[in-house]
Structure 1
Amino acid sequence: MNKFWRRALAKVCLLGLVLAGAGAWRSLSWVRTWSYSAAVALAKEHTEWQTRDWLAAESRHFRLKYRSQDASVVPLVLETAEEAYNAATQIFGYRPPDKTLVLLYPDRQSLARQFGWAADESAMGVYWAGAVRILSPLDWPGPGRDLAAVFKTEGPLLHEFVHLLVDQLARGNYPRWLTEGIAQYVEEQVTGYRLPGPEAAETSTWYTLEDLDRHFDNLPDQALAYRQSLLMVDYLRTQVSWEGIRQLLLELGRGTPFNKALERATGLEVEELPAPLFTPSR
């Protein structure tokens, strides 16, 4: 296949991923899982082509692409990635079949431009279309802090790699709150880091399940949205154990809609999820 057709197919598949992520195929979850592997493979190839002039380095389980100004932190990033890999794959009982592509952006502006965000966007990492994108540790820990220690405990690599594991196990068929809650749970278990956010006792008004799934990034209180996702995963874990959550992901990976997957894998129904977390809508 020549370069023109690879690029054309990649753009078609990227459009499909965007539609899926936006919920356009919500009622056809089997379509997303059926096309998942091809779409992600072509999207990664397109990403490789977009960053063809970047430098590259590899470790056992990762392929890192970076700009020359970040050469000094390449060993730290790959070392941290391998540590994240060992911890997360042990928890999930699953290993990705291929090396994970990681893109290292030198500053917030270049990461924001990739997704059309505002220049002051605070995100330090994103998982999308089979690749992990993170902000260089040279940009954010701040003066007087141990760069390596902060990057390993508070950096985005583990969080975003967990998103990749969830995505691969569920084959793209999962609600946003579930992957965000799982990523925070694993992050806290491995590094002890907990994203800032209100505790349950401090909040009387919660987002609805539909809010969390369909409008997550546009919710006005992002700290609450993330904390509510973590509380939901904590609730599921106490009810069905971590293995139950893993079975839920596998059931979703078969193309089963979330409501049915939850019942098949855990015996729970959506209506049994703790109502105070979803009513009233903000």
Structure 2
Amino acid sequence: MRRVFNKKRNILVLLLIFIMFTGIFYFNDVKVHVYPLLRKIQHELILYKTKDYKVRETEHFLIRYNIEDEETINLVEKASEQYYQQVCDMFHYYPKDKTTVIVYNDPSELMKNASLKQEKPPMGVYFASTIQILSPKLWIPQNEDIEDIFMNEGPMVHEFTHLLVDDLAKGNYPLWFTEGLALYQEYAQTGYEWGKDLSFEGKPYTVKQLTEEFMNLDEMLAYKRSFELVKDIVDTQGFEHLNELLKDLGKGKDYRNYLYK
């Protein structure tokens, strides 16, 4: 019996060593297989944390909320579905499951459930196959047209694009790339050009800087440069080039072989 146990232990050790070395030499190949499983676990945890929320089901979305404001949820439903078809058509990808949207009236709940540590809560965030947003009434002044602003400058197109990119590339992409794609979709679908009036002092950020230092760069300029780079790819090579790239990234190809050129 002891010999059987030792044999099993040795097999386990060899298996762990194999996984370790495989992870070192084929990191991206391993990542694109493991990442979706980890994301699924995080997704289920978020659903558990919001299990007592009400749910509004639409054609393509499941909207969870704990606010007594049906007018706001109607607006979120409208914004969620508004550009669904157009965005999915551009990526030639349509999620097989309905996308979870969670609406918060408490910024601290969003920060906690999305594992954010920044000081200021965002109006929306993509995390673990969920789109988590603040009620638009928390960030749009009452004297302004809430529906117009939320539909055209709100987070729905942006965060839904993050979900599609994450599904297609299976986590195998740099942060600037998914941000650039999300900003480009806002531009393509609503006409909203983020950071249009911003300008760089000196040379714009390089791809290397964005890839390695994104979180340490000027946030506004880093987002602007990400958008510019993606738009340049679309203008010169077409959006289909990005679709092919996303397919390759989803197979574990090294993004540096594509995005550093």
Instruction: Bin the TM-score by the shorter chain.
Output: 0.7 to 0.9
Gaps of 5+ in 2: 1-22
Match in the other structure for 1:225:
222
User: What is residue 167 of structure 1 aligned with on the other side?
Assistant: 166
> Counterpart of 1:182 in structure 2: which amino acid?
L
Match of 1:63 in 2: 62
Q: Superposition pairs for residues 6-85 of structure 1, below 5 Å?
A: 28-85=27-84
Cα distance, 1:46 vs structure 2? 1.2
Mean CA deviation greater in 205-214 or 182-191: 205-214
User: Aligned pair count?
Assistant: 238
User: Matched residues in 2 for 1:226 and 1:126: separation?
Assistant: 15
Opposite residue 158 of structure 2, the aligned amino acid is H
Structure 1 runs of 4+ aligned residues shifted over 6 Å read: 24-27
Contact 2:67 2:105 in 1 (8 A): no
TM-score (norm 2): 0.83
Matched, 1:270 2:260: yes
Please, which moves more after superposition, 103-112 or 161-170?
103-112
One-letter identity of the residue aligned with 1:183: A
In our comparison, the structure showing a higher alpha carbon Rg is 2
Counterpart contact for 1:127–1:133, Cα < 8 Å: yes
The one-letter amino acid paired with 2:129 is G
Superposed, which structure 2 residues align to 1:1-282 within 5 Å? 28-114=27-113, 115-119=115-119, 121-196=120-195, 202-219=200-217, 221-260=218-257, 262=258, 270-271=260-261
TM-aligned CA deviation for residue 25 of structure 1: 8.4
CA distance, structure 1, for counterparts of residue 112 and residue 48 of structure 2: 17
Distance change >3 Å, CA 247–CA 118, structure 1 → 2: closer
Describe the superposition over 1:46-93 as per-residue Cα deviations: whole angstroms up to 9, x where unpaired. Answer: 111111121111101111111124443111111110113122112211
Letter of the 1:47 partner, please give it: I
Q: Unaligned stretches of 5+ in structure 1?
A: 1-23, 263-268, 272-282
Root mean square deviation of aligned Cα: 2.2
If the length of structure 1 is used for normalisation, what is the TM-score? 0.77
Q: 8 Å contact 2:136–2:146 — kept in the other structure?
A: yes
Contact 1:197 1:224 in 2 (8 A): no
Distance 1:92-1:26 versus aligned 2 partners, 3 A rule: farther
Matching residue's letter, 1:178: F
Paired position in structure 2 for 1:275: none
Match of 1:274 in 2: none
1:63 and 1:101 in contact (8 A); partners too: yes
Tell me, yes or no, if the aligned pair for 1:197 and 1:223 is still in contact at 8 Å.
no
Partner deviation per Cα, 1:166-212 (whole Å, 9 max, x = no partner): 11111111111111111111101111112225556x54233343432
- The aligned counterpart of 1:6 is none
